[in-house]
């Protein structure tokens, strides 16, 4: 192989060095100020696209889950609405005693009175919008058979009412009648 002899003078060496420096400057400028930012921008955009696509996919999944839940919760929603409808607007003390009085009057037990004893919030987090009211219901004169039917009807008509105490005492002056005190607790929507 023929060896190429290159004799460069001082001026040529300087120019060669200048060209080399120019090359490195060009490469540096190209990668730092042009290709680098462009690649960064592309990577950022691709990451954002992936993020949006994930979000959209997740959103579609979430929406289909919500639609399924809507179907599944149909019974619960109706039941919840029915239970909520048992608590009319207004303070319970305004509507509960008349309701009880009317109920027992319908059951042929007159002079029923209901008075509030206590009201407390439920401990359960799910019942944050509900309150427990304790009532004393007094029936000054009722015969046992009518009372039994009325109590059963009350328990059936008021699913959120639980009788926690019952006291039946015979009236000495009218042995066919009893004096009854019921302690009942009800769950009602907070108003």
Contact with other proteins (CB under 8 A): which of 28, 32, 93, 105?
105
Contact with other proteins (CB under 8 A): which of 92, 103, 109, 142?
103
Q: Which of 113, 176, 121, 94 lies closest to 143 in space, CA to CA? A: 176
Distance of alpha carbon 183 from alpha carbon 178, whole angstroms: 16
151 binds other proteins (CB under 8 A): yes
CB 16 within 8 A of CB 8: yes
Using the contact rule CB under 8 A, the part of the chain among 29-37, 111-119, 135-143 near other proteins is: 29-37
Question: Environment class of residue 140 by beta-carbon count within 10 Å: exposed (0-12), middle (13-18) or buried (19+)?
Answer: middle
Using the contact rule CB under 8 A, the part of the chain among 89-97, 108-116, 135-143 near other proteins is: 89-97
- Rounded to a whole number of angstroms, the minimum distance from the CB of residue 84 to other proteins is 9
148 binds other proteins (CB under 8 A): yes
Contact with other proteins (CB under 8 A): which of 32, 42, 91, 120?
42
The helix (run of H) or strand (run of E) holding residue 159 is none
80 binds other proteins (CB under 8 A): yes
46 binds other proteins (CB under 8 A): yes
What 8-state DSSP symbol labels residue 15? H
36 binds other proteins (CB under 8 A): no
Q: Give the three-state DSSP class for 132.
A: strand
Q: Write out the binding residues for other proteins, residues 57-76 only, by CB under 8 A.
A: 58-60, 62-63, 65-67, 69-70, 73, 76
Q: How far is CA 99 from CA 1, 106, 112, in A?
A: 118, 11, 10
30 binds other proteins (CB under 8 A): yes
Per-residue x/- track, 107-146, other proteins (CB under 8 A):
-----------------x-xx-xx-------------xx-
33 binds other proteins (CB under 8 A): no
Distance of alpha carbon 160 from alpha carbon 84, whole angstroms: 10
Q: Which of 138, 139, 134 lies closest to 187 in space, CA to CA? A: 134
């Amino acid at each position: 192989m023929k060896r190429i002899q290159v004799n460069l003078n001082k001026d040529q060496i300087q120019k060669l060095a200048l060209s080399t420096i120019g090359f490195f400057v060009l490469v540096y400028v190209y990668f730092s100020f042009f290709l680098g930012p462009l690649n960064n921008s592309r990577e950022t955009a691709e990451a954002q696209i992936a993020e949006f696509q994930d979000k959209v996919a997740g959103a579609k999944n979430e929406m289909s889950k919500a639609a399924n839940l809507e179907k599944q919760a149909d019974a619960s929603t109706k039941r919840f609405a029915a239970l909520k409808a048992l608590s009319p607007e207004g303070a319970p003390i305004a509507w509960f005693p008349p309701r009880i009085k009317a109920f027992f009057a319908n059951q042929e037990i007159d002079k029923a009175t209901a008075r509030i004893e206590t009201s407390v919030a439920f401990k359960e987090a799910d019942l944050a919008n509900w309150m427990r009211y304790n009532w004393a219901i007094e029936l000054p004169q009722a015969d046992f058979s009518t009372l039994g039917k009325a109590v059963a009807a009350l328990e059936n008509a008021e699913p959120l009412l639980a009788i926690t105490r019952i006291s039946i005492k015979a009236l000495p002056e009218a042995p066919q009648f009893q004096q009854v005190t019921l302690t009942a607790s009800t769950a009602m929507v907070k108003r």
